[in-house]
């Protein structure tokens, strides 16, 4: 028979017994809660900063952990807790902050594979995240990338369903640039 470990949940202190020698939490919710932290160096998105997972981060940037032989993606679990409903397999969770280890529900929205592919397509044409991040850390946020004609065409499409703020995050350009495009003041020839 498997040995039973008796301990208290590191988050809520409830008593638990488990056969997993390295399980210190009573629930995936507690694990999520105790292993993320507000990152003060990130931008304010939708009114708050990123809540980054500090453990369980995989090479793809997202955090996953196991509990009771089930695997959880931290950002999906966070969305489910905040919204009080379960995601279907074909529902995706997209980050407004473009920070995969972020679990702040205010930065997460649900979408489908198409939305995700679109986000990814946009992302592939931008500087890599680490390059963007180091530029941010150097305080060169005002140095915003110049848009290409192709990007402006994409942005026109995004205007139909995203806010100026969201688009500016996606394309790493100033909100005023997006406002000008929306108002038709710039890029008239595209
Ligand atoms: Zn607990
Ligand atoms: Zn975030």
Residue 8 inside a domain? The answer is no
* Å from CA of 113 to ligand 2 middle: 20
Q: Higher model confidence: residue 117 or residue 39? A: 39
Looking at the structure, do residues 138 and 88 belong to the same domain, yes or no? no
Give the per-residue pLDDT at 118: 81
Q: Which of 63, 91, 112 is the last residue of a domain?
A: 112
Looking at the structure, do residues 129 and 97 belong to the same domain, yes or no? no
Looking at the structure, do residues 100 and 136 belong to the same domain, yes or no? no
Ligand nearest to the CA of 24: 1
Residue 25 scores a pLDDT above 80: yes
Give the per-residue pLDDT at 125: 57
pTM for the complete prediction? 0.62
Read off the tokens for 130.
């680490």
pLDDT tens figures, 96-107: 999 999 999 999
Looking at the structure, do residues 147 and 106 belong to the same domain, yes or no? no
* Å from CA of 40 to ligand 1 middle: 26
| Mean pLDDT, rounded, of the chain | 84
The total number of structural domains that make up the chain = 2
Residue 3 inside a domain? The answer is no
Residue 180 inside a domain? The answer is yes
Give the per-residue pLDDT at 145: 53
Looking at the structure, do residues 138 and 179 belong to the same domain, yes or no? yes
Looking at the structure, do residues 143 and 167 belong to the same domain, yes or no? yes
Neighbouring-strand partners of residue 71? 66
Note down the domain range covering 135.
Answer: 125-190
Cα separation, 92 vs 189, in Å, equals 36
Q: Which of 77, 112, 147 is the last residue of a domain?
A: 112
* Å from CA of 113 to ligand 1 middle: 33
* Å from CA of 147 to ligand 2 middle: 24
Residue 62 burial (CB count, 10 A)? 19
pLDDT tens figures, 117-156: 787 777 765 544 554 444 444 333 333 557 777 788 878 8
Looking at the structure, do residues 30 and 98 belong to the same domain, yes or no? yes
pLDDT tens figures, 48-81: 999 999 999 999 899 999 998 899 999 999 999 9
């Amino acid at each position: 028979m498997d040995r039973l470990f008796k301990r208290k949940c590191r988050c809520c202190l409830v008593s638990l017994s488990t056969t997993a020698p390295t399980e210190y939490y009573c629930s995936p919710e507690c694990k999520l809660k105790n292993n993320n932290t507000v990152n003060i160096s990130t931008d304010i998105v939708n009114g708050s900063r990123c809540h980054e997972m500090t453990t369980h981060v995989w090479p793809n940037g997202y955090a996953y952990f196991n509990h009771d032989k089930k695997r959880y993606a931290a950002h999906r679990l966070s969305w489910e807790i905040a919204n009080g409903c379960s995601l279907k397999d074909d529902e995706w969770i997209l980050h407004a902050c473009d920070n995969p280890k972020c679990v702040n529900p205010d930065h997460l929205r649900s979408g489908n594979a198409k939305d995700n592919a679109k986000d990814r397509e946009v992302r592939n044409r931008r500087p890599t995240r680490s390059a963007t991040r180091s530029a941010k850390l150097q305080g060169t946020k005002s140095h915003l990338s110049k848009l290409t004609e192709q990007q402006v065409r994409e942005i026109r499409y995004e205007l139909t369903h995203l806010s100026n703020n969201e688009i500016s995050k996606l394309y790493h350009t100033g909100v005023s640039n997006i406002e000008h495009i929306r108002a038709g003041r710039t890029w008239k020839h595209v």
